[in-house]
Structure 1
Amino acid sequence: MMLDKKSGYRKNFSLIVTFIVLTSILFILSLFLAFSFSKKSIEGAFVSEKVNILEQTIKPYNDFFQNKMPEVSYYNGFLDSATASKFVDTIVLNYPFVSKVTFYDSEVKNIAVKDGMNVGHLSFGPKSIYQFGKGILKDSIKLFSETDRRGFKVGDDFNGMAYKLVIFVDQLDTSKVPSQEELFTNFSVIKSNKITYLNIPRREDLKVYKQMIDKRLNTSSVYQQDMLVFQLDAYKLKILNARPLLYQNIAVKPLTYDPIDLSDEKMRTEIALPGAFSDFKLYFTSSKSYIKKEIFFYFLPIASVLLLVYGVLLLVGFLIFRNLNINRKMFKLQYDFVNNLTHEFKTPVSVIKIAGNNIKSAQSLTEKELKLYGRILDEEADKLNGLMNKLLAFTQIENKAIKLNREEVNIKDFIESTIESHTLKHPNFEITSEISGFKTFITDPVLLGSLFDNLAENAYKYSPPAQKKLHISAKLIKGVLVFRFADKGIGIPDNELNNIFKKFFRIQNQYNQNGSVGLGLAFCKELVNFMQGEITVKSKINKGTEFKIVLPYNN
């Protein structure tokens, strides 16, 4: 732990937990605010979207009122029962809310009429009256004629329009041209469920009508005027629900309608219908559980984005923590490497220095002492040279700075040489071998020797005193060379197997306190890769370890 504090890579778990907690709180708070926003947005839409529903629902009525109904004026008063019937048929077909049409085939003349309106010398009355629409029987189509009144009275619809006509004509300024909007307003009457429309007279006809009020004209001209009364049914309006997930039910209700059920389980809103439907309204209802579906439908994309941001923040936090952790481990490995390398250099240097001081301070040395000090100096110099050579070779191989020298190697002689070298160095080291399938192969003997020496040295170093045994096998299997180094050592924990080939990595155990810089197996890995092979390991604690090396045969 002292190392962690000095290294600057101290694990601060409280800081990690604080980051996660704060990020999670921010995420939960964001979700809460997003849900509140979604709820208010949908509840606001429940109130505001009714305008769009109204516009879509009333669109056919507006088309009928603004475009279809004025077509009556195109006939200039010369509609008869047959053409009027056809005209009404198209209206009923395209506008189902028109339930019935009453057609007044009327005349304006300078002679008084019995049925209609007489003002001054202007008279306006019907010649005949018809009714058209679904469910009208044939014998009920014609309601009135000058020769067959059947007791039918002209009624308020005709009289009301006649009165508007007379007032308009009486106040008409013939020097000016009335606007189309002014004409349309004065020649139509809009009431609840009913629209009365009189075809708009030509300007010349209006001038004659004005003269008729004041005096009797010499001519006995008769002017045709067609008037239609459209009976409307608001309940036959087709409601276009453009927001089916928002409005569970939409219905046409009387303007005075109040529901019996006023529980809080439902949301309600309404909007009045215009024009001839002004006594009605669109009534919108949705249960709160139904609205929740729309709220969640609106909320989920926002929540998904927030979750993505939350995940990214956690990932960034994890990557920062992982990098700091890796840096901490790398610093520790490098720290251990420097310490161990210093120790590896310091020990032989100290021995050399002591031997040199003894030689220098001694007045005379016997032949035995000279041989002893010479052997000590030679061995320690070999240690220094071997360590420097390993570091240099590792760097050269890692950077591909050397070339592979290909020579023919007799595998039996090569393995026996390795065994002899290590048994001389360690007399208590028992090494056996097995060779099958080949005698010689092409390889770099120096690199192969370094590989064998490192694995043999590891087998000796990490084995108990009574189990310092190594079995080396070399076989040609399916065109490749397979070397196995099986010892009876202390083994490697499963959780460390993936790390043993990393630079500067050392397993902490009683055999590895001093004298290792963590380069041996990493060097073996680089050697095998450089030789275009692969190395794997399997191990059991206190049972032993086996390294398997696969190399190309005479490649």
Structure 2
Amino acid sequence: MKAQKNLYRTNFSLITAFLVLITVTLIIAIFISYKLTSRYVENEFANKKTEVLEQTIKPYYDFFQIQIPEITSYQGFLDSASAANYSDTVFRTYRFVRKVLFYDIRIGSPTAEHPEGITVKDVYRFKPKRDGIVGVKEVSGADDEDFRQMALKLNTFIISADTSRVPTQDEIFRTFYNVTPDKISYLNIPRREDIRIYRALLRSKQSDNFGKQNMVTFTLDPQFLKVINTHKELYEDVTIQPVVYDPLDVAQEKVITEAGLPGAFSNFKLYFSSERSHVNKEIERRYLPIGAILLLIYFFLVLISYLIYRNLNINLKVFKLQYDFINNFTHEFKTPVSVIKIAGSNLKGDAELSERQRKHYGKILDEEADKLNELMNKLLSFTQLENRSINVKREEINLPGFVKGYIDTFKIKYPDFKLQSQVEVAKFNSDPVLMGSVFQNLMENAYKYSHPGKKELSITIKQDKRNIVFSFADKGIGMAKYEQGDVFKKFYRIENQYNQNGSVGLGLAFCKELVNYMGGAISLQSKLNQGSTFIITLPFES
């Protein structure tokens, strides 16, 4: 048995090591996964700003790519009224446009004052107001620097343009757009035949001939852009700030990043800021399912470890029970067989035996044969009980006489055994053989597991409603609470000085099977070194 005990310890140590390993692995996985999640969220904080920027600046691109080129569709024939309507549409749709300057341009022969041959007839200024727009005629627009730059680029384009092909997008942008901080100037794009006409006018000496062209300058204010924060889980606050904005009192608890605005808004930026607690909250939200999965895997592995441990423990206990059973059963058989062999050898020896010796050896043979027969009958009966192959032969039992008979027998067998009984039920219908087996086993146990001088047993029988209750109370060694659930198991033996020999662990298991077979139940109340009480409850049938 010592080898098996070591085996158990080895298995327990391996399982403990496995549990420690998966626990350490869980802690490391939790730490690493949290760090990776934290880094991932911080990277998103730095990268997802482009999505916010794209959504915020989208109206500007629509204005730049769709709304502004609509001016070309008028082919230079915009007037103050149509320019006002156009500006009204712009103000209503794009709040960041705060002022529109409309230039009515004429292209003719160059003069000393205007060597590029491009002059301004009228300039109109439009501004948004609550009740509409207002237009003001400007008389000094010809000196405007924006106009001078656009006029010079248009003059260069007219002179050098290849009218055999359509101008490229790069040529269009360089010639007909002028994008500066907070301002966009645009000239309507002339057709190729118009370019040839303008080229002829620039070379003409006649001052009364001219071509018409339109130019519009938009003054923008990025503060009127609507910030669309598509990632509120990352960015707590998104504002539009000047490029030079760099607050000195930024707390360490804040996380910040920024993204520059394009085109006419290039002197501004989107400024993203969040409290560290806000970012941590997002990290925890994303980490929660990862942590839950890790814990689920961990508990799954723990469950597997528990099942392995339980199976090993059960298998070891079964093996130990079988091992003990074989040892004890062998011992129980070996002793009577050895005694029988010795008695038989003496009987067949050459020496003549007296009548007294012959009777003595005969008695020994008879007693040892009875022991073997009893042991075999117990095993056979137990097997028959498990297979439900025993028939209960019910007959009326006179309980006072039944109990007295067993008490008298045990008093003869064990003179130091103090027995007393209290029988409150006169008659009971049951199988006397099965009941006798229960009585014999419980009384044997009471004597066997009691200290010398305290071998006492009190048998009580009484009726409880529709049941009859048998109580066997001794003052023996008792048993620990953790062992009380196992004593009715087959081959189980309590390890103590009274149970080293002469037991195969079938007595109480046999009693339980008998009681269950008769439709009853058996229970145990025991305290260590104070005694045990076995209580049997059977259905009462009169």
CA distance in 2, matches of 1:449, 1:352: 28
CA distance in 1, matches of 2:495, 2:115: 123
Q: Which residue of 355, 379, 394 maps to 2:382? A: 394
Number of aligned residues: 540
Q: Which residue of 449, 472, 476 maps to 1:485? A: 472
Counterpart of 1:551?
538
TM-score w.r.t. the length of structure 2 is 0.84
- Cα gap change, 1:432/1:136 in structure 2, threshold over 3 Å: closer, same or farther? closer
CA distance in 2, matches of 1:238, 1:320: 63
2:244 aligned with 1:256: yes
In the TM superposition, 1:302-381 aligns within 5 A as 302-361=290-349, 363-381=351-369
- Cα gap change, 1:137/1:357 in structure 2, threshold over 3 Å: closer, same or farther? closer
Q: Which residue of 155, 158, 169 maps to 2:158? A: 169
- Cα gap change, 1:490/1:439 in structure 2, threshold over 3 Å: closer, same or farther? same
2:498 aligned with 1:499: no
- Cα gap change, 1:12/1:217 in structure 2, threshold over 3 Å: closer, same or farther? same
Select between 245-254 and 544-553 the one with higher mean Cα deviation. Answer: 245-254
Aligned partner of residue 126 in structure 2, secondary structure: strand
- Cα gap change, 1:66/1:108 in structure 2, threshold over 3 Å: closer, same or farther? same
Letter in 1 for 2:445: N
Counterpart of 1:129?
124
Q: Which residue of 395, 398, 405 maps to 2:392? A: 405
- Cα gap change, 1:179/1:547 in structure 2, threshold over 3 Å: closer, same or farther? same
Q: Which residue of 261, 265, 286 maps to 1:273? A: 261
Contact persistence 1:3–1:332 (CA under 8 A): no
Counterpart of 2:511?
524
CA distance in 2, matches of 1:229, 1:165: 15
Counterpart of 1:452?
439
CA distance in 2, matches of 1:89, 1:444: 111
- Cα gap change, 1:57/1:470 in structure 2, threshold over 3 Å: closer, same or farther? same
Letter in 2 for 1:141: G
- Cα gap change, 1:275/1:502 in structure 2, threshold over 3 Å: closer, same or farther? same
1:193, CA displacement in angstroms? 0.9
- Cα gap change, 1:435/1:387 in structure 2, threshold over 3 Å: closer, same or farther? same
Letter in 2 for 1:57: T
Counterpart of 2:2?
2
2:85 aligned with 1:98: no
CA distance in 2, matches of 1:325, 1:537: 25
Aligned partner of residue 330 in structure 2, secondary structure: helix
CA distance in 2, matches of 1:365, 1:298: 98
Contact persistence 2:321–2:491 (CA under 8 A): yes
Select between 357-366 and 344-353 the one with higher mean Cα deviation. Answer: 357-366
Contact persistence 1:53–1:242 (CA under 8 A): yes
CA distance in 2, matches of 1:297, 1:56: 25
**Over residues 162-213 of structure 1, what are the superposed CA-to-partner deviations in whole Å (9 max), with x where a residue is unaligned?**
3333333333333223456754664322111111233444555445434433
Letter in 2 for 1:486: A
Contact persistence 1:454–1:520 (CA under 8 A): yes
1:512, CA displacement in angstroms? 1.4
- Cα gap change, 1:109/1:272 in structure 2, threshold over 3 Å: closer, same or farther? closer
**Over residues 378-404 of structure 1, what are the superposed CA-to-partner deviations in whole Å (9 max), with x where a residue is unaligned?**
222121122122223323433x35254
1:332, CA displacement in angstroms? 3.0
Contact persistence 1:100–1:134 (CA under 8 A): no
- Aligned-residue Cα RMSD (Å) equals 3.9
Aligned partner of residue 361 in structure 1, secondary structure: coil
Contact persistence 2:475–2:531 (CA under 8 A): yes
Contact persistence 2:87–2:126 (CA under 8 A): no
CA distance in 1, matches of 2:451, 2:324: 24
**Over residues 33-64 of structure 1, what are the superposed CA-to-partner deviations in whole Å (9 max), with x where a residue is unaligned?**
33443444344334333333322322222222
Counterpart of 2:201?
212
- Cα gap change, 1:532/1:107 in structure 2, threshold over 3 Å: closer, same or farther? farther
CA distance in 1, matches of 2:78, 2:237: 43
Aligned partner of residue 227 in structure 2, secondary structure: coil
Q: Which residue of 141, 145, 152 maps to 2:135? A: 141
CA distance in 2, matches of 1:419, 1:66: 114
1:485, CA displacement in angstroms? 2.5
Contact persistence 1:101–1:133 (CA under 8 A): no
Contact persistence 2:520–2:536 (CA under 8 A): yes
Letter in 2 for 1:158: F
1:133, CA displacement in angstroms? 1.8
Unpaired stretches in structure 1, ≥5 consecutive residues: none
CA distance in 1, matches of 2:58, 2:209: 45
Letter in 2 for 1:519: L
Counterpart of 2:50?
51
